[in-house]
Amino acid sequence: MLLDRPTRATRRWRLRFVLVAVVLVALLVVLQVVAARVGVRGPAASLVDGYLRQDPGAPAFYCALVLALVLSPRRVRLPTLAVAVAIDVVLGVSRLIADGAVHSVGNGAIIALTGLTGWSLVRVRGSRRADVVRGLACGWAFLAATTVGQVWLQVTARSRPAVFDAYVSTADHALGNPAWRVGEMFALIGTPGRAPFMVVYAMLPVAAVVVAAVQLRHGWVRHNVVLTFIAVGVLGPMIYLLFPVVGPAYAFGPAGWPFAVTTGWPSKLPSFGAPRALSFDTITPRNCVPSLHTAWAVVLFLHSRSMAPWLRRLGAAWLVVTLLATLGFGYHYGFDLVVGAVFGVTVEAAVRSATCGWRRDRIALITWGTTVFVVLLAAVRYRAEVLATYPIAGAVVMLGLLCSVCWGAGTVLGGRRRQPEVAGGPGVEDAQALPATTR
């Protein structure tokens, strides 16, 4: 009996998968070269060290493992997770005996993910194989994006000695200096009151995995939150080199001493002449513009609109708490949140177009979002004093542009009543929409 030939759609899906893999490997190689030139550990070394070395980003390894397990056969999910936990327990006990402390966990997750990948590629066959491979790809891409992000933050600190915080701080007068206002509120509520905000801020990847698990529990969904999260994590850090900013807690607060202009944040607004580029250390990441936490929270919010009520509430609450945390801890200015939201909506529209079709309204939203993003950066860099001198007009311009992009997102990307766009596997171009609770 002759073997069935793969369909044209299946061949096209395989070609896309190979192209994406080649592009990711090429990016890793380029970043490895860049990291070597500026004197920091590259992503390849970081990934290798993730198997045994204690890594501050190791908890994200469990997020990657869970993403891969969502589309894996049910019979291997609990055993794989149990193996990962057991390995971490053994490593944790040995580190506690040897060093007296355990700084992070997660090595077991990457070891288990590697074993799951090998087992799946050898043992899984048939129609389920495509979904399993996609799940593994999402897990490894999430892991790679996390590792690359950590390396890239070091690159921004080494390659951009001057920062633009003076420009952003000046322009923020038009928004009412929200970082200082929320920072004062956080100072009043004390450490216990700030703890929930820190948990939400740090656990954003976990929330994304929860939403992704719901989206993918019935099989592969053509457009899911993981794809946009990875795209935001890859594209966003590139802007850091163009617009390096360290944040108010560092440029104007005690965290940045002795390079800080002042150390009065959040109780005292900085006072200086015309804004200019400020020299800073080679350690603090220039990771403020755009605020990727804001962009990710906006993406989470957009994806949760078509899901169950409890997930819609989770998405809305996570967005609000994330915005307050980014300001209250002094990690971002108000302007960072504005451009972060614009960036998140624009990337979401682009990824949805790439996966579900390039419709005219989506292209218009991408074009407008990109234009607004560039205009806002240029305005703050070259007209920060004008925005501060005319704060009402400045606020109307910045918030008006943000609202126009958000209105476009609500119109084009849709809310909770809009039917999701899904696909069941390779070769399915126009599958039937699943119920809203599966999205």
| Tens-place pLDDT, residues 287-302 | 999 999 999 999 999 9
* pLDDT value at 8 more than 70: no
pLDDT tens string 212-268:
989 888 888 888 898 899 899 888 888 999 999 999 999 999 888 889 888 889 988
Backbone angles phi, psi at 423, to 5 degrees: -145, 145
Higher pLDDT, 71 or 40: 71
User: Considering only 129-138, 171-180, 379-388, which range has the smallest mean pLDDT?
Assistant: 129-138
CA distance 17 to 331: 37
CA distance 10 to 275: 56
* pLDDT value at 433 more than 70: no
Provide the token pair at 406: 């958000």
Instruction: Give residue 60's pLDDT.
Output: 82
Proportion of the chain above pLDDT 70, given as a percent: 89
DSSP string, 336-387: HHHHHHHHHHHHHHHHHHHHH---HHHHHHHHHHHHHHHHHHHHHHHHHHHH
Mean pLDDT of all residues in 143-150: 81
pLDDT tens string 186-202:
999 988 999 999 999 98
Give CA separation, 198 vs 85, 164, 246, 372, 431, in Å: 25, 26, 19, 30, 40
- H or E stretch including 164? none
Provide the token pair at 155: 């690159």
- The residue assigned the tokens 């609000």 is 320
Q: Which of 241, 33, 232 is nearest to 153 (CA)?
A: 241
* pLDDT value at 174 more than 90: yes
Mean pLDDT of all residues in 7-26: 67
pTM of this prediction?
A: 0.85
pLDDT tens string 319-370:
999 999 999 999 999 999 999 999 999 999 999 998 888 899 999 999 999 9
* pLDDT value at 24 more than 60: yes
* pLDDT value at 375 more than 90: yes
Contact 89, 109 (CB under 8 A): no
Contact 319, 173 (CB under 8 A): no
* pLDDT value at 372 more than 70: yes
- The residue assigned the tokens 């990291």 is 35
- H or E stretch including 398? helix 391-408
pLDDT level of residue 145 (50, 70, 90 thresholds)? confident
* pLDDT value at 132 more than 90: no
Neighbours of 241 (CB within 10 A): 13
Instruction: Give residue 345's pLDDT.
Output: 96
Higher pLDDT, 207 or 14: 207
* pLDDT value at 11 more than 50: yes
CA distance 44 to 60: 17
Proportion of the chain above pLDDT 90, given as a percent: 45
Mean pLDDT of all residues in 394-401: 95
Contact 262, 268 (CB under 8 A): yes
Instruction: Give residue 269's pLDDT.
Output: 87
Mean per-residue pLDDT over the chain, rounded? 84
Q: How far is CA 211 from the centre of its chain?
A: 14
Instruction: Give residue 56's pLDDT.
Output: 61
Backbone angles phi, psi at 177, to 5 degrees: 50, 60
Neighbours of 337 (CB within 10 A): 26
pLDDT tens string 56-87:
666 788 999 999 999 898 899 999 999 999 99
Q: How far is CA 146 from the centre of its chain?
A: 9
Most confident of 33-37, 135-139, 153-157, 163-167: 163-167
CA atoms within 13 A on the CB side of 357: 10
Give CA separation, 315 vs 42, 309, 395, in Å: 34, 10, 26
CA distance 304 to 311: 6
Contact 229, 344 (CB under 8 A): no
- The residue assigned the tokens 């491979």 is 133
CB-based burial, 134-146: b 16+ in 10 Å, e otherwise:
bbbbbbbbbbbbb
Mean pLDDT of all residues in 80-103: 87
Instruction: Give residue 13's pLDDT.
Output: 59
Give the DSSP letter of residue 273. S
* pLDDT value at 425 more than 70: no
* pLDDT value at 48 more than 80: no
